[in-house]
Amino acid sequence: MEAVDLGVCGDDEQAIEDVLDRAQDRCDAVVTSGGVSVGDLDVVKLVLQKRSAGMRWMQVAIRPAKPFAFGLLDRTGTPVFGLPGNPVSAMVSFELFVRPAGLRMGGHGSLYRPRVTAIADSDLHRRPDGKTHFLRSVASVDEHGAFHVRSLRGQESHQLSAMAEANGLAVLPTAPGSEPVGRWQVMLIDPAPCRTGIAAHEARHDGGAGGDLGPQGPHRAPRCRRPRSHAHHRAARRPVRPGP
């Protein structure tokens, strides 16, 4: 699929309406970033409410990326996904909701990032807030084929440095607070550095990369960075066609 960048809009109702009109005439789906929270003066929200009678505004119990909106534009039936404005929130929301939907629309059978069960090399810290947390993390595979995970510093939703360095998101279900060293699920947003371990696991267990791939023992892993070429994502208030 090909993304169509229709630029950045300010808080101008007419400008956003014009961009939405162009987007739904050219694209199979529309993605916006920013202006979808609970505030009554969020201009994107005001415009989408006028253009989509069935627009849904959600507060998802995850961190980051709590605000999320979805609906069909009335004139064309084009699906529109409203993502949060903070850059990390927008990227996590895209990975969880928009990317699988775009792949499904494109006829792909494999919709989700591979998830592995990894050994935490240190405590994974989270706030006791009743949400599932997605920690920006570095996943790696040791010489025995065991997956390991280490969380990165800078976990706030405006801090892109950890997202740029991460190759996975450690999934921490709701809990009272800091999680001890143990085994946790990791969603691999860039599985390339761990592909050797994934292939080895598949050979042993005849499984698929889209499933849960578990570690083979408590071995410490070498660092496995996400390639820097993947660190150029930019979140802006723009409609685009979602891509893989």
**Per-domain residue ranges for the chain?**
13-105, 115-230
The CATH number of 13-105 is: 3.40.980.10
Give the span between the Cα atoms of 146 and 116, in whole angstroms: 10
CA dihedral defined by 186, 244, 102, 67, rounded to 10 degrees? Answer: 50
Please name the helix (run of DSSP H) or strand (run of DSSP E) that holds residue 103, with its range, or none.
helix 99-105
**Which CATH superfamily hosts domain 115-230?**
MoeA, C-terminal, domain IV (2.40.340.10)
Give, as one character, the DSSP assignment of residue 15: H
Reported pTM? 0.77
Q: Cα 177 to the chain's mean position, in Å?
A: 23
> What does each of the 244 residues of the chain score in pLDDT, given as a tens digit?
789 999 998 889 999 999 999 999 999 999 999 988 766 678 899 999 999 999 999 999 999 999 999 999 999 999 999 999 999 999 999 999 999 999 999 999 999 999 999 999 988 877 788 899 999 999 999 988 899 999 999 999 989 999 999 999 999 987 665 555 688 999 999 877 777 666 665 666 554 444 554 433 333 333 333 333 333 333 333 343 444 4
